[in-house]
């Protein structure tokens, strides 16, 4: 019996070799994976080589069209701003180069600098009102029930979808001196001084109406975008802050705003661009009047080009508008990147 037991015990150097499956040695399995990855990479490279220039040819029409629609008008405006380009040159197609003379004419015009200051004031007032109201609407929408949330979001989208000219015409009718609802409502409430009040003959009133119109048109986009950012914040963060005793203002400052800051900065950037180059609302409603009370740089450029057929000065004013708007955005992006690096 002892001899039999000794024969049943396997030798010390004998180890069963697995035949595959889960028992496959990791080294062999890793080597096989590396071989398959290298093979697939080579196959992908060969497939990419076979594709040749076809992907670039397929996207070429879209790229060429985009470059033509964006770069050609800009290059043409820069060229005209360096020429003596008036009505005769517009018809004949021949113009003399005058270098930076048009820019010197604009920069030495006191009216131009008045328009620049008014443009920045118009942009600042609109952007501040848009961002504050949009953030409040987004926070309110987040706390509503499903039905009311749907109603609010649908109303915002419908207001946003209204054409600019149609909305401007409605505002003109609302503030009409004889048939406007605003004058009728104020008079009915006892404010007899607003009977047939000419809103668009008063520069401050016309400026305020345009600000109201631009804010009304811009808030829906900003509010919906900020609301979508709020929905991405994990509920656990608010629960943790609430357990720690944070109030609503503290949670907004320490939890909500830091989480949606990138989206807030994006919306702010877009609103700066849109309000800085606002033209249609002002041109349809007041054409920059009364006087120059509602004239900002885009309107000034069109007035200069059309009233005196000074297309060269109009193009120069447009180029200065682009430079000023780019400078504002560069300063904004530098501040944003600095805050991100500090964070």
Confidence at 51, pLDDT banded by 50, 70, 90: low
Question: Taking all residues of the chain, what is their mean pLDDT, rounded to a whole number?
Answer: 82
Res 39 pLDDT > 50: no
Q: Given pLDDT bands bounded at 50, 70 and 90, which one contains residue 7?
A: very low
Region 270-299: mean pLDDT is: 91
CB 309 within 8 A of CB 87: yes
Average pLDDT over residues 32-48: 47
Note the pLDDT tens digit of each residue in 136-182.
999 999 888 889 999 999 999 999 999 999 999 999 999 998 889 99
Per-residue pLDDT band at 28 (split at 50, 70, 90):
very low
pTM, two decimal places: 0.76
pLDDT score at 255: 81
> Residue 50 has what pLDDT?
56
Distances (CA, A) of 74 to 68, 69, 71: 10, 9, 5
Distance CA 235, CA 202 (A): 50
On the question of pLDDT at 70 being above 60, the answer is yes
- The confidence score (pLDDT) of residue 246 equals 74
* Predicted local confidence at residue 343, as pLDDT: 59
At 80-135, the pLDDT tens digits run: 999 988 888 888 878 889 989 999 999 999 999 999 999 999 999 999 999 999 99
Check residue 342 and give its pLDDT: 66
At residue 270's C-alpha, the angle toward residues 264 and 274, to 5°, is: 140
Average the pLDDT over 6-13 and give the result. 48
Buried b (16+ CB within 10 A) or exposed e, 47-56: eeeeeeeeee
Averaged over 290-295, what is the pLDDT? 91
Interatomic CA distance for residues 321 and 301, integer angstroms: 9
* Burial of 296 from C-beta contacts in 10 A (0-12 / 13-18 / 19+): buried
Per-residue confidence (pLDDT) for residue 21, from 0 to 100: 45
Distance CA 303, CA 287 (A): 9
Please report how the helices 203-230 and 110-143 are oriented relative to each other, as an axis angle in degrees rounded to 10: 40
pLDDT band at residue 40, thresholds of 50, 70 and 90?
Answer: very low
Give me the torsion for CA of 141, 144, 147, 150, rounded to 10°.
10
- Tokens standing for residue 83: 């020429």
Q: Going by C-beta distance under 8 Å and a sequence separation of 6 or more, which residues neighbour residue 134?
A: 218, 219, 222, 223, 225, 226, 267
Q: Which of 316, 318, 308 is nearest to 279 (CA)?
A: 318
In whole angstroms, give the CA distance from residue 251 to residue 131.
19
**What per-residue confidence (pLDDT) applies to 125?**
95
**Strand, coil or helix: 197:** coil
- Distance (Å, rounded) from C-alpha 119 to C-alpha 299? 10
- Res 217: pLDDT: 93
């Amino acid at each position: 019996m002892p001899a039999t037991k000794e024969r049943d015990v396997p030798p010390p150097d004998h180890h069963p070799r697995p035949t595959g499956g889960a028992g496959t040695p990791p080294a062999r399995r890793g080597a096989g994976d590396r071989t398959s990855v290298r093979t697939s990479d080579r196959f992908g490279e060969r497939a990419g080589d076979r594709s040749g220039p076809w992907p670039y040819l397929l996207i070429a029409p879209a790229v060429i069209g985009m470059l033509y629609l964006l770069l050609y008008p800009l290059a043409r405006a820069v060229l005209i701003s360096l020429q003596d380009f008036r009505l005769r040159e517009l018809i004949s197609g021949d113009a003399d180069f005058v270098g930076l003379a048009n820019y010197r004419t604009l920069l030495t015009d006191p009216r131009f600098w008045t328009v620049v200051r008014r443009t920045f004031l118009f942009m600042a007032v609109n952007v501040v009102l848009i961002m504050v109201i949009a953030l409040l609407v987004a926070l309110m929408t987040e706390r509503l029930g499903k039905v009311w949330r749907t109603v609010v979001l649908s109303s915002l989208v419908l207001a946003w979808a209204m054409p600019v000219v149609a909305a401007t015409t409605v505002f003109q009718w609302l503030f009409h001196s004889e048939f406007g609802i605003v004058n009728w409502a104020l008079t009915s409430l006892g404010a007899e001084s607003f009977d047939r009040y000419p809103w668009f003959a008063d520069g401050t009133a016309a400026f305020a109406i345009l600000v109201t119109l631009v804010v009304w048109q811009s808030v829906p986009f900003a509010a919906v975008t900020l609301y979508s950012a709020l929905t991405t914040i994990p509920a656990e963060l608010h629960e943790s802050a609430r357990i720690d005793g944070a109030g609503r203002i503290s949670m907004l400052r320490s939890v909500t705003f830091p989480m949606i800051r990138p989206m807030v900065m994006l919306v702010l950037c877009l609103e700066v661009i849109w309000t800085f180059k606002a033209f249609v609302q002002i041109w349809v409603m007041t054409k920059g009047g009364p006087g120059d009370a509602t004239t900002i740089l885009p309107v000034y450029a069109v007035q200069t080009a059309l009233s005196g057929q000074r297309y060269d000065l109009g193009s120069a004013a447009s180029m200065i508008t682009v430079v000023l708007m780019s400078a504002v955005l560069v300063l904004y992006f530098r501040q944003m990147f600095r805050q991100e690096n500090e964070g």
